[in-house]
Amino acid sequence: MPDSFDAYHYFNHLRARWRLPAATLAVALFLSLAISLILPRRYTGKVALVIEPPGASDPRASTAVSSIYLESLKTYEHFAASDHIFAQAVERFQLRRAWPHSSIESLKRDVLQVSMPRDTKILQIAATFPDPRVAHALALYLAEETVKLNRETNRAGVKELVEEAQKQAEQASRRLNAAEAARRQAGRRPPTLEERKAELEQLREQRTEIERLALVSEASIAELEAREKSTAATAGTDSVAERSRLERLRRQTAEIDRLIAARQKMLAERTAESQALEAEYEAAAAASEQWEKRLRELRSEAGLRGERLAILDPGVVPERPSSPNIPLNLLVAVALGVIASLFYLTLEFGFQSQKAESLRKSFRVASKP
């Protein structure tokens, strides 16, 4: 290369050699057009899904939409790009007929494209196939299966909660039935609590009556003793009989007191048992009501938990092929032709300039005395 670049001579060199770039561009355009026309046409069907937020009853519904939340929605790309769903689509649309020797992974890379524009809730599914109807039907099928998979996933999560709540509700119901049966059985077991109270009240009335009789007997004895003292007589038959009667009344009082104490103890035990059974029944009833309410809430919120997918744009059967892209191919061919021509002409100009510089140096050396 010469020591300094001569732009004037360089552009003169390009102008003198214009036929080479023109021929190169013509060949590149011809080859690009021929290859584009030879390549099989492929059409891309597109379907758009919208990711709706959870229902109003879900606490997450109040969360403000942020960039972090929108970024988290990209996980739904895995729903649309599910290997299981795509394998079903391969069997449904017989895609292996077009690519008999391709694996599922290769077919998925060539046919399916799932994307989610930044900061949006739109999920785009694109399917590419030589037949435009199949391309659109494939994209629509994948979108519908994605919606179904998301719905089943949400239901599966809610199903676990519902089953657990139902299990707890059944246990609480069994506990309530057992508590109610125990309470009824205890209430019907003779003697009943009311009978115990009535018996105790009867014993107290008997004791009161016996005490009254004892007081009367004591008064009679005192009166007889006073009469005997006044007459200086010995204890008569009436006095002895009255004392015997008083002694018998006192024994009856002691026996009734013993019975009253025993009945009070039994009444206290039955009362404590009844209160315990009532408390158990109330606790079981509250627990059963709580779990029944929880079960109703979960069932009512079954469709409101988690984001919901819905088809926003089912798309149409494509009319223009997505590949080969002839304008783009021609543009690329022009760019490559220009770059190749300039590269070759620049090398040629440098070689000629270097050769001319060498000749000039040789001539200067030869002309020296």
Among the three residues 249, 266, 300, which one is the final residue of a domain in this structure?
Answer: 300
* pLDDT at residue 368, rounded to an integer: 52
Residue 368 lies in a domain: no
d(CA 54, CA 78): 19
- Do 294 and 328 lie in one domain? The reply is no
**Do 334 and 254 fall into the same domain?**
no
| pLDDT score recorded for residue 36 | 72
Share above pLDDT 90 across residues of the chain, in percent, rounded to a whole number: 13
* Whether 256 and 193 share a structural domain: yes
Average pLDDT, the chain: 81
Residues 188, 280, single domain; the answer is yes
Evaluate whether residue 198 is within a structural domain: yes
Pair (200, 252) in one structural domain? yes
8 in a domain, yes or no?
A: yes
Residue 107 lies in a domain: no
Residue 73 lies in a domain: no
Residue 4 belongs to some domain of the structure: yes
Question: Do 353 and 294 belong together in one domain?
Answer: no
94 in a domain, yes or no?
no
Do residue 190 and residue 274 come from a single domain? yes
Statement to judge: residues 283 and 349 lie in one domain = no
Residue 212 structural domain: 178-300
pLDDT for the residue 61: 47
Do the Cβ atoms of 238 and 224 come closer than 8 Å?
A: yes
Q: Are residues 348 and 263 in the same domain?
A: no
In a domain, 13, yes or no: yes
Residues 348 and 266 in one domain: no
The total of structural domains in the chain comes to 2
Six-digit token pair at 46? 């597109």
Same domain? For 196 and 268 the reply is yes
Q: What is the pTM of this model?
A: 0.54
What's the pLDDT score for residue 314?
92
**Residue 62 confidence (pLDDT):** 45
Residue 271 amino acid letter: T
- pLDDT per residue as tens, the chain (369 positions): 444 556 777 787 777 878 888 888 888 888 888 887 777 888 999 999 998 877 544 444 444 556 777 777 788 888 888 888 998 998 898 888 877 778 888 888 889 999 988 888 899 999 998 889 999 999 999 999 999 888 888 777 777 778 888 898 899 999 889 988 888 888 787 777 788 888 889 888 988 988 888 888 888 888 877 776 776 555 557 777 888 888 888 888 899 889 889 888 888 888 888 889 889 999 999 998 998 888 887 777 665 556 778 898 998 999 888 877 778 878 888 888 888 888 887 887 777 777 766 666 665 555 555
- Whether 336 and 232 map to the same domain: the answer is no
